[in-house]
Amino acid sequence: MTDATADAPKRRSLTETLELDTRLLGMVGAFLVLCLAFDIVTDGRFLTPRNIFNLTIQTVSVAIMATGMVFIIVCRHIDLSVGSILAVSSATMAMIQVEWLPQLLGLGHPLLWVAACLAGLLVGAAVGALHGWLVGFLAIPAFIVTLGGLLIWRNAGWYLTDGQTIGPLDPTFQIFGGANGTLGVFWSWVVGALAALAAAAAIWAARARKAKHGFAVKPLWAEAALTLLAAGAILAFVATLNAYDVPTGRLECLFEARGEVMPEGYSEGYGLPVSVLILIAVAVAMTVIARRTRFGRYVFATGGNPDAAELSGVDTKMLTVKIFALMGALCALSAIVASSRLTNHSNDIGTLDELRVIAAAVIGGTALSGGIGTIHGAILGALIMQSLQSGMAMVGVDSPLQNIVVGAVLVAAVFIDIVYRRRTGARS
């Protein structure tokens, strides 16, 4: 009670009242400016439902891995092998569903994609756990272990496939890729509405919990504004993806396949891609792990002060194995999305992804010195990188220049971050 009256005379800014992260706001602002700029330069071709749809499905693979990279970097490690783990998982899954299992079960068997996915995730997690064991228990620096892994696993994948491109992948498996697997307009609205309700419920449950302990809570209007903002953003996103119509030629093919004739003037929106749902599920799960589990707490504590964590009874060696195994599993998940988007496995899948993933995490505010980073920041970082790249491609920037710009943006973003942290002092 006394606290509340003491605080009252102090004028608080809007962001403070809403308890918004100013750093995140800055990133969202930069992202919006970027999008608007590209939209103007391309005469309105950038912010179309079609491009937004493509942008989203192109971001998924890197974004999924970036969430795992946050844990790795927060723990003061690095993983240079994510692109190669993606490749070896993808090779395993492709071989299982195209070469090995069909000989036993027959092509088109419903278990093909399930077995492939499970095996891929297992391979990814096992390779990650091996890296974690080398780093944690044998004390080999993560940089070296994963630099070795970068060379080893892509080429292990090469031996699995004899360097051949393996495809086409199982039709059910291809649902995870993007355009081949979308919810359609109706179910997208259902999912969007449920997500909006869930977001609102989460905001108000947190408020009730705080009030129960007698902590200060935000004013009601602020809470309501946040709820509307969250729900509005979710529904606007769904509306945009629903507005992108499946090309007529493709619809005709679908009708033809069912032995029907497409009615005149028929159209259908894509809606939410399954891969985006996977990313959202990963984002929610990883955020919960980071904020609400002991494991996540220990990851951040170890990054902040490894000795303190160790002295507090945290098994930091085992923790290292776990975060690398998690990273490996997420690489395999990305492999599912990436290979099914391409509808085949080729040996160069995920090449240079390690750099995109690290850049996404770092642009998203993950500090290489450890202890600081957020899941949503990393995903936003991946989105910014992808927008920059495809925006420049649309404008017609030469591909060497594209890479130069992306590189410069990475360095500049980290510099701005350092300045920001210095200005705001320890309140990071």
Residues 182-211 that bind other proteins (CB under 8 A): 209-210
**Minimum separation from the CB atom of position 426 to other proteins (A):** 4
DSSP H or E run through 31:
helix 22-41
Residues for the chain: how many in total? 428
Q: Rank residues 120 and 303 by Cβ distance to other proteins and give the closer one.
A: 303
Long-range interactions of 49-52: CB distance < 8 A, separation 24+:
49/240, 49/241, 49/243, 49/244, 50/244, 51/390, 51/394, 52/240, 52/241, 52/244
CA–CA dist 99, 78 (Å, integer): 34
Binding residue for other proteins, selected from 22, 190, 294, 408, defined by CB under 8 A: 294
What SS3 state is found at 198? helix
Minimum CB distance to other proteins, residue 282 (Å):
18
Question: According to CB under 8 A, which one of 9, 259, 396, 425 is a site residue for other proteins?
Answer: 425
- Residues paired with 166 in a beta bridge: 345
Residue 210 or 250 with smaller CB distance to other proteins: 210
Q: Which of residues 88 and 372 has its CB atom nearest to other proteins in the complex?
A: 372
Q: Does 212 bind other proteins (CB under 8 A)?
A: yes
Produce one character per residue of 272-288: b if its CB has 16 or more CB atoms within 10 Å, e if not.
bbbbbbbbbebbeebbe
Query: Interior CA angle at 31 toward 27 and 37, to 5°?
Result: 145
Distance, CA of 99 to CA of 263 (rounded, Å) = 40
CA 158 to chain centre: 26
Among 10, 11, 213, 258, binds other proteins (CB under 8 A): 213
Minimum CB separation of residue 377 from other proteins in Å reads: 15
E strand or H helix at 82, and its extent?
A: helix 82-94
Contact range with other proteins by CB under 8 A, out of 154-162, 276-284, 286-294, 385-393: 286-294
By CB under 8 A, tell whether 214 contacts other proteins. Answer: yes
Rule CB under 8 A: is residue 12 a binding residue for other proteins?
A: no
> Residue 301, interface with other proteins (CB under 8 A)?
yes
Report how far residue 377's alpha carbon sits from residue 50's, in angstroms, rounded to the nearest whole number: 25
**Count, residues near other proteins per rule CB under 8 A:** 33
Min CB(135)–other proteins separation in Å? 20
Could you say which of 288, 393, 404, 411 contacts other proteins (CB under 8 A)? 288
- Interface stretch with other proteins, choices 64-72, 246-254, 284-292, 350-358 (CB under 8 A): 284-292
Residue type, 381: G
Question: Is residue 106 at the binding interface for other proteins, with CB under 8 A as the rule?
Answer: no
User: Is the separation of the CB atoms in 242 and 269 below 8 Å?
Assistant: yes
Closer of 220 and 426 to other proteins (Cβ): 426
Nearer to other proteins, 104 or 216 (CB): 216
Residue 273, beta-bridge partner list: 182
Is 250 among the residues that bind other proteins (CB under 8 A)? no
Using CB under 8 A as the criterion, what x/- string covers residues 305-324 for binding other proteins? x-xxxxxxxx----------
Segment near other proteins (CB under 8 A), from 77-85, 182-190, 285-293, 387-395? Answer: 285-293
37/288 with CB nearer other proteins = 288
| Secondary structure (H, E, C), 310-329 | HHCCCCHHHHHHHHHHHHHH
Instruction: Centre a 10 Å sphere on the Cβ of residue 239 and count the other Cβ atoms it contains.
Output: 15
Compare residues 215 and 266 and give the one whose CB is closer to other proteins: 215
- Residue in the structure block whose two tokens are 């509306």: 239
CA 361 from centroid of its chain's CA atoms: 10
Q: Which of 50, 76, 109, 297 binds other proteins (CB under 8 A)?
A: 297
Q: Show the site string, 360-399: x = touches other proteins by CB under 8 A, - = not.
A: -----------xx---------------------------
Where on the chain is the footprint of other proteins (CB under 8 A)?
209-210, 212-215, 288, 291-294, 296-297, 300-305, 307-314, 371-372, 425-428
